[in-house]
A and B are shown apart, each in its own frame.
Chain A
Amino acid sequence: MIKIAVCMKQVPAYSEGDMDEKTGLMKRSGLETITNPYDLSALEAALRIKEEANATVDVFSMGPENAEAMIKDAYAYGVDKGYLLTDSRFGGADVLVTSYTLMQGILAVNKYDLIICGKQTTDGDTSQVSPALAKWLGLPNYQGVIKLLEISNDGMEIHQDLGEFIQVLKINYPCLISVNREGFVPRMPSFKGRLESKNKSVNEMSIDNLEDGDVNHYGIKGSTTKVKKIFPPKRTQAVEAQVLEGMDGAMEILSFLRKD
């Protein structure tokens, strides 16, 4: 039996969230939320393994209480158990502390063979949580995975997109992989799964359920970085296109160049 843990995060559905000027933290209340699209690819990878081999798929998320809806949504895709790390003392966590909290949560539940993460989130966008989590867990870490082959109870073959080339590796559990969106376009949640999810509960965990109970290691207290400012890039103005031919076009370009 391959025990898989998938890390997922709830993010704002649309990129209109504001930043709190004072704290540098995202203002999330009142915004519609979705599952981070990259994490749905991580879930897809896990479900494909479950279809091919004997496996269980659990989901871990750190977030506010309403992230329970996201975990229920994950049940509709076929997840076995969901764990929500939720505690006001987790608030304001940076990459270091987020990955530490996830590590504590995962270790408190089971000894997993495979941890799967998405490439990045659409709100934080750092791509740093999964390598940091691997480091905390002391696991080998494979980023940019686009294909899983020859899945067995001990390990599998992965294709890693390293930009210039594709690396094919045979890997053994336990380990952490982070998958790219391209190779793992998420399936649709099933109707039957959604109805069944109504009777499944989400397991909530607070600091009190973790081995390290020191509040100074979590949330804003434990964070070592602070975001100074987040701002949307300046939009370029819409300009009307002109179609000019021959000499007219050449003269227009020339006068434009002269202006500079």
Chain B
Amino acid sequence: MSREIYPMEEKYQEYLTDESKNQGSAVSISFPESEEEIQEIMETLGKENIPVTIQGSMTGIVGGSVPVGGHIMNLQKMKRIEAYTDNDGPTVTLEPGVSLEELEQGINRNFKGKGYFWPPSPTETTASIGGVLATAARGINIAYYEDTRKYVSEIHLVDGMGKLHILDKSSLDTVIGSEGLYGVITKATLLLEKKPEENWGITFFFEELAQVNDFVNGIEEIEDTPFGYIVAMEYVDRASIDLVESKKEFMTKIKELPDVEPEFNHLLYIEIGGKEDAITQIAEKLMELVIQCDGNPDKAWAVMGEAEIQRMRAFHHSVAECTNLFIEEARRNDDRITKLESDMALPGLSLKECVEFYTEAAKANNIDITIFGHVEGRYLHANILPKNYDEYERGRRLLSFWNQKAYKKYKKITVEHGIGKVKSDLAGCIFTKDQIAQIEEQKRKYDPNRLLNRGNIFSEDAYDKDCSVYEAGSGL
């Protein structure tokens, strides 16, 4: 065994799981510190036909970095930021283990006062850049900034045989979002953007779903201009608010936020960016709309400036975090329980239809859920909150029911969190034959022995999956 490869021991236990809470197993682990070392390890393991699971910060929620035997390659020591340039637009070149938080600090330090940032902003700031690229993760500002791929100009990829590929803009799209199937991302050059001159974060509260629905319909009529635009629009239901409030006192960033008054059942957060006058114009339109929808503008919060906006974003992040904490607590009573979260978009539906799609079935099955997420594209997450294994089992069926219904209409049941291992048995249904052929072709090129990230995206029986159950979904 090579010097950098350690046999698995008790002290590496934490590397057997991620935020999906699934448990894996492994025979060995490494913490490489350079691209060359990664190449060396891949070559050694490749010769011995040992499968490799790549790990970033293990914040993924579909089990992508959970090992299925073989070797774990953890990239947490690859933390060098190698270069900052500002000739043809600002860029940062870095190693994959740098976290989003560290990237932001680095940008602020090196481009002091210039107001640059990297737009893809999944709210989990400990996530590594390698992990973000491998899952094409994105955040609250997706409505405006769109796909993560837009903000990458080059990546280095070490394939399953230890060979280095340098991919430029023309060839990196297929690798981003491929969940480590084709190789280890060992370096990346990221394209930065300038932050809006000013931004406002406004939180509206509503008693009735119909009110927030009308409000959203009105907002969707507002047209962005280059000077004023809606950066984010997030919905949070009362169950999510209650969950956060029950745990808020332990969360430093948000513990001082006031409780949401009990009569409010729905929260809508809107972030506006741009120049002051244009932002004010949009805000004035929102004021008119909220009054028309019988909402209460006196009760709405409006913060501005980055520090306060970060606090509001921290609130939205804590919704996801608290759901994960809930699962962690439930697992203490029964470790068969894992995270059950829908990851689908329901475009074309109104916000009300979308929320009711989840709540009606949950109510009928007597299962507690939370609903939150991006309003743009109706990309809301429903999380099952099982108190025991029986509820968990029923929750699984409920999730499957939602998936079937969504599949019937959209042929898609995963948008943001990836497929990982949690949904890998559905790959045969998720992808078209052409897409599968494409993945197979890339796999033959980069990892012919199928050693990398086994179990991600495709499970053994994925191709044989009978999709008829999904096809038969009773439609939306």
Q: Which residues of A contact B (CB under 8 A)?
A: 13-14, 16, 29-30, 32-34, 69, 73, 76, 185-195, 198, 243
Contact = CB atoms under 8 A, between A and B. Distances in A.
Interface string B394-415: 0000000000000000000000
Given A190-B300, A192-B287, A32 B307 contact: yes
Contact of B256 (A29, A69, A73, A185): A185
B113 A192 contact: no
B258 A188 contact: yes
A186 B307 contact: no
Interface in B293-311: 297-308
B200 interface: yes
Contacts of B302: 76, 188-191, 193-195
A30 B112 contact: yes
Given A190-B300, A195-B283, A32 B305 contact: yes
A219 B103 CA distance: 39
Contacts of B11: 243
30 contacts: A13-B306, A16-B108, A16-B109, A30-B113, A32-B307, A33-B305, A34-B308, A69-B305, A185-B258, A186-B256, A187-B258, A188-B258, A188-B303, A189-B301, A189-B303, A190-B297, A190-B298, A191-B283, A191-B287, A191-B297, A191-B300, A191-B301, A191-B302, A193-B302, A194-B200, A194-B283, A194-B302, A195-B280, A195-B287, A243-B11
Contact of B305 (A34, A188, A243): A34
Given A13-B306, A32-B306, A192 B280 contact: no
Contacts of A16: 108-109
B314 to A, nearest CB: 14
Contacts of B200: 194
Name A's interface SS: loop
A69 B198 CA distance: 12
B297 A192 contact: yes
Which 5 interchain pairs have the tightest Cβ spacing?
A30-B113, A191-B300, A188-B301, A191-B302, A194-B302
B284 interface: yes
Nearest to B311: A188
B202 interface: yes
Given A32-B305, A34-B305, A194-B304, 4 more contacts: A13-B306, A185-B256, A190-B299, A193-B302
A16 B257 CA distance: 25
B304 A73 contact: yes
Contacts of B257: 188
Contacts of A76: 302
Interface in B252-301: 256-258, 280, 283-284, 286-287, 297-301
A195 B204 CA distance: 14
B256 A192 contact: no
A73 B304 CA distance: 8
B111 to A, nearest CB: 11
Given A34-B308, A186-B256, A192 B298 contact: yes
A242 to B, nearest CB: 9
Interface string B365-387: 00000000000000000000000
Nearest to A29: B113
A149 B256 CA distance: 22
Contacts of B280: 195, 198
Contact of B301 (A13, A32, A190, A195): A190
Nearest to B10: A243
Nearest to B257: A188
B233 to A, nearest CB: 15
A32 B283 CA distance: 23
A112 to B, nearest CB: 27
A198 B307 CA distance: 21
Interface string B93-120: 0000000000000001100110000000
